[in-house]
Structures are given as structure tokens and as C-alpha cells.
């Protein structure tokens, strides 16, 4: 489920989501205190920035989101990405040799403790720059979205409504495959997502009005293998767009099947199907910046 940092359209979707819950354009000044991780402190004082804690995608690092950080700062947001390294993800390996892994009963606090530690550090950085009472917006990319949900629920708990302005997820696989699908028993998360959906449905303990899901719909798989092979020569490499639409369809087919239980005629961002990226409940949702029906 690893994904690259959002660029271009991803930035627009992020801004759309943040705007939809009332953060773009808010007038607020950064306090004259603490460490300044991005610019000189005197420059930050003159800026009006809303702190955003970023939960990266699998194997994602701060460096992967440098472009997003700069673009968001220009628009009034200070991005505090969880300081993860790619090697940190190896700390999951011991969990794969446990009974809980084989019985699909893994729990996020134990399995993803390294991610929680990185988020603790990002929160401390916000507190150093803004003070302990400043609420933050959480931005989760790919599986970072449901890690954010579990962190808010398990770590912040009763303080969540006071400390969290909002939760925005970008291409996060919130939904398991349908129970009747052939891949339902696979459970790639080995119980992690099931636990999060049961304990923290619809972004709980946050009000659903503070939760926004963004789903990309740029890659729709063909209706059948026959349709996919039509004009395959032209799709192998599009000189005008400098891309291989055929390769994109192949990757989408391989990714959509274990996530949604379906392969053909599925709409998504190339890795995550739209339906998979929306949480249950009534809350703000968007696909390419356009409202879509809510899951109920």
C-alpha cells in the first residue's frame, strides 16, 4: 500500500479538503516562541500558519513531502510530518511471527508503536512552536490515514476534540473488501483495520463534521480483459502524455482486487478504489474535488 507523496492534483485535493472544514484563510499568528523547523523564527512570526501533522504513507519519510510542505506553507499551513525513516517499517517484522498475526488480531498500539512514537515527536514539535494548547489538523496519506485514526483514538482519546482541528485522509484504504468477495478472508492488515473500524468508526472520537475523505478517480480499470487488450499497442506508451496507460491499468488491476474484491470497471486513483477510500458514516467526502455520495 505504499504510495508516493501527493503532488499537483494531490495538493489541490488537500486544499479542497482543508477548505471544506474551514481552515483555509483563517486569521491567526504564530506565537513568538519555540523552535522553528522550517524558517527563521522571525519569518514564521510574520506568517499566519495553521499546524498540520502529517501521517505519511507506508515507507514514507519527511523528505518525500518536501514539495507538499512548501506548497502548503505558501497557503497558510505549517506541515509537521512524522519523522519516520524507511527502516522504521522493519519494526513491524516481529509482529508477523505472533499468534495475533496468524489469527488476524493485530492491534495498532503494539504493531505500529514506532509510528505512534514519530507522531508523538511531531506533536511535541508543534507544542514547541505554538504552545501546548494549539489544536492541530491531521493529514493522513494512504495507510497513514487509518494510523491517524487509531492515534487520535488511542493516544489522544478524551483530549481529541480539544487538540484536533480536523482529520483529512488522502487515498486511505478505510474499507475492507466486501465479505462476499473472494479476497475477504485475506485481510492484508491482519486485523488492524478491522479493529480501527470497530473502535473508531467514522473518525471517532472526532465529530464527523471534522472528518474528510479524499479519493482519487483518475484510473478506471477496463470493463473486461478483452477491452483492456484493445489498442494495447497505442496504450503501451503515449508520447503526448509521456506515460503508459496500459501499465497504469495493469497496476490498478493488481491493486484494486485485494482491496475491493473486484478487478474490472473499478474507479480509483490507480492504487486505492474510490469506495475503499471512504469511511462509513455521514461526513465530508470528495473525489477529485467534487462531492460524492456518502457511505451509510
Give the strand pairing for 267-268 and 219-220: antiparallel
In this structure, which long-range contacts are made by residues 154-159, counting pairs with CB atoms below 8 Å and at least 24 apart in sequence?
A: 154/108, 154/109, 154/116, 155/116, 155/119, 155/120, 157/205, 158/205
- The per-residue pLDDT of the chain, averaged, comes to 79
pLDDT-derived band at 185, boundaries 50, 70, 90: confident
pLDDT given at position 198: 92
> Among 102-111, 197-206, 217-226, 285-294, whose mean pLDDT is lowest?
285-294
> Among 143-157, 218-232, 256-270, whose mean pLDDT is lowest?
218-232
- Report the percent of the chain where pLDDT is more than 90: 39
Q: What's the CA gap between 253 and 53, in Å, rounded?
A: 32
pLDDT-derived band at 179, boundaries 50, 70, 90: confident
pLDDT given at position 222: 82
Contacts of 140 (CB under 8 A, 6+ apart): 54, 55, 146, 147, 148, 149, 167, 168, 169, 170, 172
| Mean pLDDT of the 98-126 span | 93
Q: Which residue has the cell 522504521?
A: 88
Angle between helix axes 9-20 and 66-74 (nearest 10 degrees) is 50
CB-CB neighbours of 278 under 10 Å:
23
> Among 20-29, 151-160, 220-229, 243-252, whose mean pLDDT is lowest?
20-29
Amino acid at each position: 500500500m505504499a504510495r508516493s507523496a501527493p503532488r499537483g492534483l494531490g495538493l489541490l485535493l488537500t486544499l479542497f479538503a482543508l477548505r471544506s472544514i474551514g481552515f483555509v484563510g483563517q486569521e491567526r499568528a504564530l506565537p513568538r516562541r519555540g523552535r522553528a523547523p522550517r524558517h527563521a523564527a522571525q519569518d514564521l512570526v510574520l506568517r499566519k500558519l495553521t499546524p498540520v501533522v502529517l501521517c505519511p504513507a507506508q515507507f514514507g519519510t519527511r523528505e518525500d513531502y518536501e514539495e507538499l510542505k512548501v506548497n502548503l506553507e505558501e497557503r497558510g499551513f505549517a506541515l509537521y510530518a512524522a519523522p519516520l525513516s524507511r527502516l522504521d517499517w522493519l519494526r513491524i517484522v516481529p509482529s508477523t511471527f505472533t499468534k495475533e498475526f496468524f489469527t488476524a488480531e493485530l492491534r495498532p498500539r503494539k504493531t505500529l508503536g514506532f509510528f505512534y512514537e514519530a507522531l508523538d515527536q511531531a506533536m511535541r514539535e508543534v507544542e514547541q512552536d505554538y504552545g501546548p494548547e494549539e489544536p492541530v489538523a491531521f493529514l493522513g496519506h494512504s495507510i497513514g490515514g487509518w494510523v491517524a485514526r487509531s492515534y487520535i483514538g488511542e493516544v489522544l482519546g478524551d483530549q481529541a476534540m480539544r487538540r484536533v482541528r480536523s482529520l483529512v485522509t488522502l487515498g486511505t484504504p478505510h474499507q475492507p473488501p466486501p465479505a462476499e468477495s473472494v479476497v475477504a478472508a485475506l485481510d492484508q492488515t491482519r486485523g488492524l483495520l478491522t479493529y480501527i473500524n470497530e473502535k473508531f468508526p467514522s473518525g471517532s472520537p472526532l465529530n464527523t463534521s471534522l472528518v474528510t475523505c479524499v479519493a482519487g478517480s483518475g484510473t478506471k480499470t477496463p470493463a473486461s480483459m478483452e477491452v483492456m487488450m484493445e489498442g494495447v499497442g497505442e496504450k503501451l506508451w503515449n508520447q503526448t502524455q509521456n506515460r503508459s496507460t496500459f501499465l497504469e491499468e495493469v497496476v490498478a488491476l493488481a491493486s484494486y482486487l485485494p482491496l475491493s474484491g473486484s478487478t474490472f470497471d473499478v474507479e480509483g486513483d490507480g492504487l486505492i478504489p474510490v469506495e475503499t477510500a471512504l469511511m462509513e458514516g455521514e461526513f465530508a467526502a470528495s473525489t477529485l474535488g467534487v462531492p460524492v455520495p456518502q457511505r451509510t
